[in-house]
């Protein structure tokens, strides 16, 4: 289970950027920061809630996030469970947010399931919001909810990142800076 948690936590930090906000009323009083597509290093991770045990993965050395941009809608690919048949590039696993000035808002949750060999099915939902604080640097908040699917009728305590058969929730804040 710890391996699955580590894989999920590590995978949850993928973010990609490639546009610049067009509203100059940014959080610093007027500067619209640039954001580029690519891999972003994760630092300063903290949790306000972490019953899913995700924080450790965001504090791990070398943790990165990858972000994409489709006409100003940014995709945050936070990864997947190692044996999730959906895979890392499936659109269902990617949370999105719209960049308005320097703020990522209008979040749309990644909402999908991960099935395990023992019959357990977990419902996974993730959203991301945050602000650009400098060129290619963002302060982001990941909100995650993971719960056993009630229709699977399987014991998910060995597969759930919380180690229980009940819903868990995590809110992780971190800084993402474009890797050089």
- Mean pLDDT for 18-24 is 39
Of 37-46, 74-83, 149-158, where does mean pLDDT reach its minimum? 74-83
pLDDT greater than 70 at residue 25: no
Answering whether pTM is above 0.85, one says no
Q: Which pLDDT belongs to residue 79? A: 55
Q: Please give the mean pLDDT across all residues of the chain.
A: 77
Q: Which pLDDT belongs to residue 95? A: 85
- Mean pLDDT for 35-58 is 90
Q: Which pLDDT belongs to residue 81? A: 35
Q: Which pLDDT belongs to residue 76? A: 83
Residue 117's CB is within 10 A of a number of other CB atoms, namely 7
pLDDT greater than 70 at residue 13: no
pLDDT above 90 covers what percent of the chain?
31
pLDDT greater than 50 at residue 124: yes
Q: Which pLDDT belongs to residue 90? A: 65
pLDDT greater than 90 at residue 150: no
Q: Which residue has the higher pLDDT, 9 or 169?
A: 169
Give the CA angle between residues 176, 160, 143 to the nearest 5°: 35
């Amino acid at each position: 289970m710890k391996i699955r948690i580590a894989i999920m936590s590590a995978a949850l930090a993928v973010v990609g950027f490639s546009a610049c906000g067009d509203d100059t009323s940014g959080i610093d009083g007027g500067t619209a920061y640039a954001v580029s597509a690519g891999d972003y290093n994760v630092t300063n991770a903290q949790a306000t809630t972490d019953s899913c045990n995700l924080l450790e993965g965001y504090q791990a050395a070398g943790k990165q996030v990858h972000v994409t941009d489709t006409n100003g809608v940014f995709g945050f690919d936070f990864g997947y469970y190692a044996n999730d048949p959906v895979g890392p590039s499936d659109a269902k696993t990617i949370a999105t947010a719209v960049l308005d000035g320097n703020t990522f808002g209008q979040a749309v949750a990644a909402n999908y399931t991960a099935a395990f060999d023992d019959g357990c099915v977990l419902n996974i939902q993730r959203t991301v919001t945050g602000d650009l604080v400098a060129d290619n640097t963002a302060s982001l908040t990941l909100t995650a909810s993971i719960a056993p699917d009630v229709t699977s009728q399987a014991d998910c305590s060995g597969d759930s990142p919380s180690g229980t058969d009940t819903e868990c929730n995590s809110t992780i804040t971190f800084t993402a800076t474009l890797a050089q």
